[in-house]
Amino acid sequence: MSDREAILARIGSAWPWQAASTEVVGRPVERESWALFTERLHGLGGEVAGPEALTTLVERSVYSDEDAAAYLPEGVRCVDDPWQAEIGVTLVDWAVAETGSLLIATGSDRRRLASLCPPHHYALVPEGRLLATLEEALGHLTVRTTVLVTGPSRTADIEGVLIRGVHGPGSLTAVRL
Amino acid sequence: MANPPMEDFARRLRPSTLEGIQSATVGRVRERVRLLPFVFADVEAARTQAASIKDEVLADLGGNLVRFEAACLKHGIQVHWALDAARAREIVLDLASRAEGRLVVKAKSMVTEEIHLNAFLEAAGFEVVETDLGEYVVQIDGDHPSHIVAPIIHKTRYEVARSFAQKGLGPYTEDPGELTLQARARLREKFRTASIGISGVNFGVVESGRLVLVENEGNSRLSTTAPSIHIAIMGIEKLIPREADLPLFLRLLAGSATAQRMTTYVHLISGPRREDESDGPREVHLVLLDNGRSAIRSGPYRDVLRCIRCGACLNVCPVYRQASGHAYRHPYSGPIGAVLTPLLEGLEKMGDLARASTLCGACEEVCPVKIPLPHHLLRLRDEAARQGLAPKGIPWSRFASVADEPPMWRSGLTLLPLASGLSEKGWSEVRAAPRREGRPFRRWWDERS
């Protein structure tokens, strides 16, 4: 008998189940979405900026999503090695006001390591891509592998002291296009 | 029972260790209590709902696993089934042996602790590197994690500083930020060059075949993105039925574990890199591990399989705070460990854990999936007693024969103060007898009028 058959045999048949009659609602937040998103991301140690923030990338080494490259100003040094780049630039699919999160899917013009390896992450949020709740954002999941990023990389493993930038980027800037 | 009581272990802990555990757990409890009402309009309803959804999964666990497997295969996730720890280790070794390199990077995973994977792979010639900061410290110290979520809650910064300096990670420093940077630098080289990444799974979504991994540091994403082979190991109970259930569980886990609205990274994995993608693993393997879970499901303790490993019950537990995670002699510590470990490893070997509880009920109150832990602890004690595994203590039968006879009881009360030897020796090794104060109630009652 294979392990699969053995496990399924041990589990045996199903038993009836009755759903709980509760309904879960998130705490409603009556705030303008960008104000809330900004407040949440600030609370996590991230920044929200306008497109002019991209001019600070000039002369610096950048590892970028292909579909984000069009937004980069001239003079940015684009590199092909994510481990050597100072800044990673990605285009986000959705931003979430409630949690200050960014939903980023993989794809043909995307690079998974752009939001992960360089010490600074610039995430471009196009017009109309901000959603109020996590439910709405996760409702937009596609068949592609996706990551939900909420603030800079962090740890509190040593005596509970909060440290940013352990393995992922220590700084995160959401750029509102 | 032959096991040394947890009390002995607790008594040997250093004050600095106890202080660290105390402040970290108390702090986490306070933050969680403060945050959750801001996340859910009704926290109680959220817990009830989550418990119900996990029960839904467990009710038809076989059907759900088969559907989940089919959905995973559709994405190109290769699925392997392991009845026990030995089989899971063999599967992982077999997969890892096909890789070009011998370097394995590991994301934090309790289930790999459960099956003792690291030592096994190392004996087979692999270099296995834990990449979560806390787990990395544990590994270079030859230690064990002492908390489900915070592996080095039992260590001070000074201990970490000494270890790092000894292992040549950089110049001696006691600054947690500097220490973190030293570990980052060392581990980046590992991520870059490893050919195999191993992780656990927080949630497997049945309808979509998606593997959901949550973390704060980025090491789990790196371990499951940079190497060409990703092997995920998952207990068969870790399913949730629908994608629509994700927001509830993600919020509950982040809130209960670390008092965050959302963990920094939620990695939603649906298969290896696709043809049009430039990075990501070329193979994704999923090992579905039973290792005693199917047996637990068919017994009276089945709802421990709802557990989402948030560690909230550890943080509130007065026994955990005094004894530390190591006292539980197993990766799963605290109240959940006191129930789960005897079920996984046997009452004979681990049944004493169920006695290490005050039955205060705090663990059940905070559990995001409402596992009735105190109830299970009592049941385990009862089972242990029936199997003759209970410890020798006060001969309660003799007490009962005295208490049953009013004349005997009255003379007993009169004689009690004379038995002063009792209060010095104590009731047991660890408990002092209460001191008698004033006069007996009966005399007061008689003299009242």
Rounded to the nearest integer, the mean pLDDT of chain B is 92
What is the C-alpha to C-alpha distance for residues A91 and B16, in angstroms, rounded to an integer? Answer: 47
Which residues are bridge partners to A130 per DSSP? A95
Residue found by looking up tokens 């030293």 in the block: B182
The answer to whether the CB atoms of B280 and A15 lie below 8 A apart is: no
**Which amino acid is residue A32, in one-letter code?**
E
Which ranges constitute the DSSP H helices of chain A? 3-11, 33-43, 66-69, 134-138
Quick one: average pLDDT of B15-34? 93
Supply angle C-alpha B402, B408, B411, rounded to 5. 125
**Residue corresponding to tokens 């610096």:** A60
Say whether A159 and B157 touch across the interface (CB within 8 A). Answer: yes
Pick from B92, B118, B114, B94: which is nearest to B106 by CA? B118
* CA atoms of B283 and B98, how far apart (whole Å): 11
Are the C-beta atoms of residues B82 and B290 closer than 8 Å to each other? yes
A166–B270 CB contact, under 8 Å: no
Of A79, A78, A73, A37, which is closest to residue A173 (Cα–Cα)?
A: A37
Residue B298 or residue A21, greater confidence: B298
Poorest-pLDDT segment among B26-30, B90-94, B399-403: B399-403
Are A94 and A140 a contacting pair, CB within 8 Å? yes
pLDDT of B264 over the 60 cut: yes
Half-sphere exposure (Cβ direction) of B194: Cα atoms closer than 13 Å: 33
Q: What is the pLDDT of residue B2?
A: 43
Q: Is a pLDDT exceeding 80 seen at residue A26? A: no
**Beta-bridge partner residues of A125:** A176
Which residues partner with A48 through β-bridges? A174
Q: How many CB pairs under 8 A join A and B?
A: 231
Position B417 scores a pLDDT of 58
Contacts of A108 in chain B (CB under 8 A): 276-277
Helical H segments across B262-350, by residue range: 293-297, 312-316, 318-323, 334-345, 347-350
**Among residues of chain B, what percentage have pLDDT more than 70?**
92
B107 contacts on A by Cβ (under 8 Å): none
Closest of B348, B342, B385, B377 to residue B361, by C-alpha: B377
Provide Rg for chain B, Cα atoms: 25
CA angle B442, B447, B449 (to 5 degrees): 120
CA–CA min distance B270, chain A (Å): 5
Q: Copy the structure tokens of residue B176.
A: 């947690």
Kindly report the backbone phi and psi dihedral angles of residue A64, in degrees, each rounded to the nearest multiple of 5, phi listed first: -130, 150
Q: Tell me the pLDDT tens digit for each residue of A114-168.
A: 999 999 999 999 999 999 999 999 999 999 999 999 999 999 999 999 999 999 9
Could you give the CA distance from residue A159 to residue B152 in angstroms, rounded to a whole number? 8
- Domain parsing of chain A, residue ranges: 30-176
- Minimal CA separation from A59 to chain B, in Å: 24
Residues A101, A134 contacting (CB under 8 angstroms) = yes
Residue B40 one-letter amino acid: F
- Chain B residues with CB-CB distance to A83 below 8 A: 188, 192
- Residue-averaged pLDDT of chain A: 95
With an 8 Å Cβ cutoff, are A10 and B290 in contact? yes
The residue type of A103 is: L
Taking only the tens place, the pLDDT of each residue in A126-140 is: 999 999 999 999 999
Q: Calculate what percentage of chain A has a pLDDT beyond 90.
A: 90
* Residue A21 burial by Cβ neighbours in a 10 Å radius (0-12, 13-18, 19+): exposed
Residue B342: per-residue pLDDT = 96
Q: Does the structural domain B40-293 have CATH classification 3.40.50.2300?
A: no
In the stretch 48-87 of chain A, residues with CB closer than 8 A to chain B read: 83
Copy the structure tokens of residue B346. 């046997």
Q: pLDDT-derived band of residue B1, with 50, 70 and 90 as boundaries?
A: very low
- CA proximity to B161, closest of A161, A153, A165: A161
Residues B134/B144, Cβ–Cβ less than 8 Å: no
Helix (H) or strand (E) holding B112: helix B110-114
H helix and E strand count, chain B: 23, 10
**B243 CB contacts (<8 Å, ≥6 apart)?**
A138, A139, A141, B205, B207, B208, B210
d(CA A116, CA A88): 8
Structure tokens at B116: 């003792």
| Contact list, A131 vs chain B (CB under 8 Å) | none
Residue B282, number of CB atoms within 10 A of its CB: 11
Smallest CA–CA distance from B62 into chain A, residue: A8
Amino acid at residue number B80: H
The β-bridge relationship of strands A101-105 and A146-149 is antiparallel
Element (H, E) at B199: strand B196-199
CA–CA distance, B51 with A29 (Å, rounded to integer):
26
Compute CA B258 distance to the chain's CA centroid, rounded to the nearest angstrom: 14
B109's tokens: 């995973």
As a whole number, mean pLDDT of residues A76-100 equals 97
d(CA B335, CA B202): 20
A31 touches chain B (CB under 8 A): no
pLDDT digits (tens, 9 = 90+) for A41-82: 999 999 999 999 999 999 999 999 999 999 999 999 999 999
Nearest CA in chain A to B150: A157
Task: State chain A's maximal CA–CA distance in angstroms.
Answer: 65
Residues of B in contact with A101 (CB under 8 A): 262
Residues 6+ apart with CB under 8 A from B357: B317, B319, B335, B338, B374, B377
DSSP at B266: E
Q: Do A122 and A53 touch, CB atoms closer than 8 A?
A: yes
Tell me which of 3.40.50.10420, 3.40.50.1000, 3.90.1150.170, 3.40.50.970 is the CATH number of domain A30-176: 3.40.50.10420
pLDDT by residue (tens digit) across B321-369? 999 999 999 999 999 999 999 999 999 999 999 988 889 999 999 999 9
Strand pairing class (B239-240; B203-205): parallel
Task: Give B376-428 pLDDT, tens digit per residue.
Answer: 999 999 999 999 887 666 666 777 777 888 888 877 777 765 554 554 455 55
Chain A neighbors of B134, CB-CB under 8 A: 155, 157-158
pLDDT cut 70: percent of chain A above it: 99
Separation of first and last alpha carbons in chain A: 58
Is the Cβ of A106 closer than 8 Å to some Cβ of chain B?
Answer: yes
- Beta strand spans in A52-162 (E): 61-64, 77-78, 87-91, 94-96, 101-105, 120-125, 130-131, 146-149, 154-155
CB B65 within 8 A of CB B236: yes
Domain with CATH 3.40.50.10420 in chain B: 40-293
